[in-house]
Amino acid sequence: MRVLSIVGARPQFVKLAPVAEAFAATATEHVIVHTGQHYDARLSDVFFADLRIPAPDVHLGVGSGSHGVQTGTMLAALDAVLDEHRPDWVLVYGDTNSTLAGALAAVKLHLPVAHLEAGLRSFNRRMPEEHNRVLTDHAADLLLAPTSVAMGHLAAEGLGERSVLVGDVMTDVCFRVRDAVLAAPPGPPLPGDYVVATIHRAENTDDPDRLAAVVDALDGLSTDVLLLAHPRLVARCHAFGIKLEREGGSLRVAEPLAYPQMVAAVLGSSGVVTDSGGLQKEAYLLGRTCTTLRTETEWVETLADDWNVLAADLTGLDAIVRRPVPSAEQGTPYGDGHAAERVVAALL
């Protein structure tokens, strides 16, 4: 069997890691195509190195652009690649423009498509990721769902027969890296108490008033805030004249971290403030509270017992962020850390 994985953005490299490892334990030929959506070494190369992912076989070098230009450039470039490799399965991951381009290119060439992390829904049609998910699910032949909630969404859209519950591959990689970090803990990224923060979604970064309000709210928290600044955040702040680091404020701005350093930073923190999808779940898996600066989340399981709290309007943010760790025990909605093996089995 030949499987061709299409990835391009940071969260997809994390999901690719356990899947590539699971393929390596079989006779499957696994071809990795990197679209180049994320091209900064901090968002791309370090993930391949740290998570021991084989180097991409093909790199499309697409880079940044408007949604149409970015997605269209990938589409145009993928035809020849898919034609050359003629895989038994094209595997696409998550909800980025690379996901949608990969799915669309493959179905047009009558190649079977499997969607990993299928069935997630925010029901917010203003999010580019929501269209990418819905369109990819409806184009794909096999839907690999991470949770039973996702399975329910797929069934409700008439896609139940194509869907398989495999669990969440991010649990696989998160637990593996957590154990390695705990075996040899690095020094703390900041002295004393701190929360980890990331902001990059269009709904928080593209409007100057909204972005200024988010940055002010983070800077006003009563604990240090380790802000791991995504290039989109830095670019928008620069364009809008918003200063990130101010005298006397709480923000401590740092570069995006490699995956093991990110896990270590969350483990050393008292909580997470984010608009990322993956980080909400990683906070949950690592037993830290999360405050999500969005009006909704796809990862609704994290909301149980206030492990994750939605705080888009920023009112009373400090009290929310500083709430105590819930005493209720967590369930295991994201699987047992063996999802990648089930992905491979489903494709086989």
Chain residues in the site for ligand UD1 (CB under 6 A): 9-11, 37-40, 43, 64, 95-97, 128-129, 200, 231-232, 235
Residue 250 or 280: which CB sits closer to ligand UD1? 280
- Rg of the chain's alpha carbons, rounded to an integer? 19
- Is 200 labeled as catalytic in the residue annotation? yes
Closest Cα partner for 237 from 219, 250, 225, 259? 219
Tell me the closest approach of the beta carbon of residue 103 to ligand UD1, in angstroms. Answer: 13
Least Å distance between CB 77 and ligand UD1?
A: 16
Q: Which is nearer to ligand UD1, 210 or 322 (CB)?
A: 210
According to DSSP, the residues that pair with 143 across neighbouring strands are 115, 163
Q: Are 346 and 144 in contact (CB under 8 A)?
A: yes
Residue 2 C-beta: closest distance to ligand UD1, Å: 26
**Cβ pair 119, 154 in contact under 8 A:** yes
- Which residue do the tokens 């928290």 mark? 221
Cβ 168 to ligand UD1 shortest distance, Å: 16
Q: Which residues of 40-74 are buried (b: 16+ CB within 10 A; e: fewer)?
A: eebbbebbbebbebeebebebebeeeeeeebbebb
Instruction: Using the minimum distance from each CB to ligand UD1, give the nearer residue, 68 or 158.
Output: 68
CA distance 18 to 174: 10
Nearer to ligand UD1, 40 or 336 (CB): 40
> Which member of 115, 200, 230, 238 is catalytic?
200
Active site residues: 200
